[in-house]
Amino acid sequence: MADRPEDRETRSLNEVTTGTIKGPASLADSGILSTDLLPGTFVDWRTIDPSTIEGTNVPVEELQTYRENIDELLRSHQGQYVLIVGREIIAYFEDFESAAKHAEREFRGRSLLVKKVAQFQQVHRIGGMMD
Amino acid sequence: MAIHRLSASQPYLPVLLIVEKKMVEAVALIDTGAFMTAIRPDLIARIGAQQIGFELFSQVGAAPRLESTHYFNHRLGLGSQDFASQEFAVEALSVSPASPCDVLIGRDLLSRWVLAWDGPGDRLLISY
């Protein structure tokens, strides 16, 4: 088996994942992620229950729709960008800009989700941020 | 291809953030260590950028967090109130940079540019 960093992280995450999150700051507490993250860490969206995410403006319905449809999305639209509004998958796009422009034009002000269809989502490392 | 010549001695760059017909001038820092571009939450609220996502990010020594992302168009500042004509669509995290600036330009945007840093010559060349 290939010993790529993403494979190692994926195995590790799958082994410890519980599927619940208590809040945006408690991912590590839930066991979904390690605190000593290395660049290139990935998380499987199947393991995150959006209804347990605390915080404002969380697109819970859209994230739930993405999670529930991820296997079908991966089969037919991997690498594309999906636009989800509420429980409805609106459209697929080849690039981010097309998806974002369509979302802004047609659904401005509404809760929505533009997401690249991928099995594993990268955890974005950003150093110079305020707490 | 556009090539812009800027000073390398100043850490910050002017940028223009655009949401539909609204435009806001902001101060940006190029951060090659940031995976993703980030913008101050109060600036996002002021310009009314559409929320389009919710992404995981982590900081050194801190637990990973989920935070909203917003859709912007971005134009590079070239001098006193002069901005490049080409726009770049950006998905930006809503978090405050620790540096005294409004925007961290991350590798999502940098991956579309060519940068040449000439320290002794005080030149930063950005082309795309």
CA distance B39 to B115: 21
Question: Residue A8 has what pLDDT?
Answer: 41
CA distance B9 to chain A (A): 20
Q: What is the distance in angstroms between the Cα of A2 and the nearest Cα belonging to chain B?
A: 25
The per-residue DSSP string of A19-73 comes to S--S-TT-HHHHTSS-SSPPTT-EEEGGG--GGG--SSS--HHHHHHHHHTHHHH
Tens-binned pLDDT, residue by residue, of chain B (128 aa) = 889 998 888 889 999 999 998 999 999 999 998 989 999 999 999 999 999 998 888 777 677 778 899 999 999 988 777 899 999 999 999 998 888 899 999 999 999 999 999 999 999 999 99
Sign of the torsion formed by the C-alpha atoms of A91, B92, A49 and A13: positive
| From A24, A113, A115, residue closest to B66, measured CB to CB | A24
In tens, the pLDDT along A95-129 reads 999 999 999 999 999 999 999 999 888 788 887 66
Per-residue CA distances from B38 to A37, A86, A98, B94 (Å): 20, 26, 20, 6
Collapsing DSSP states into helix, strand and coil, what is residue A111? coil
pTM: 0.81
Q: Which domain holds residue B84?
A: 3-127
**β-pair type (B22-30, B103-105):** parallel
ipTM of the complex: 0.85
- Give the separation between CA B57 and CA B19, rounded to whole angstroms: 24
Q: Are A5 and A13 in contact (CB under 8 A)?
A: no
Q: Of B24, B31, B128, nearest to B70 (Cα)?
A: B24
- Token pair of B29 as six digits: 């820092």
The answer to whether the CB atoms of B58 and A100 lie below 8 A apart is: no
Q: Pick from A122, A124, A130 the residue to mutate for testing the B interface (most B CBs within 10 Å).
A: A124
Q: Tell me whether residues A43 and B63 touch, CB distance under 8 A.
A: no
- Backbone φ and ψ for A52, nearest 5 degrees, come out as -95, 0
Q: Which pLDDT does position A130 carry in this prediction?
A: 61
Closest in B36, B50, B59 to A104, CB measured: B50
A124/B91 Cβ within 8 A: no
CA distance A51 to chain B (A): 13
Q: Indicate which CATH number applies to the domain containing B79.
A: 2.40.70.10
B56/A27 CB distance under 8 A: yes
pLDDT of residue A20: 31
Picking from B94, B97, B88, the residue whose alpha carbon sits closest to that of residue B27 is B97
Residues of B in contact with A57 (CB under 8 A): 51, 68
Nearest CA in chain A to B29: A128
Q: Which residues contact B17 (CB under 8 A, 6 or more apart)?
A: B23, B24, B25, B26, B39, B43, B47, B49, B72, B73, B74, B103
Is residue B81 helix, strand or coil? coil
Paired with B57 in beta bridges are A124, B65
Contacts of B67 in chain A (CB under 8 A): 24
User: Which residues have C-beta within 8 Å of that of residue A21, sequence separation ≥ 6?
Assistant: A27, A30, A32, A48, A49, A52, A53, B66
Cβ-based burial of B77 (10 A; exposed 0-12, middle 13-18, buried ≥19): buried
The pLDDT value given to residue A2 = 41
Tens of pLDDT along chain A (131 residues) come to 444 444 444 333 333 232 233 334 445 555 455 444 444 577 787 887 888 887 778 899 999 999 999 999 999 999 999 999 999 999 999 999 999 999 999 999 999 999 999 988 878 888 766 65
| Number of structural domains chain B divides into | 1
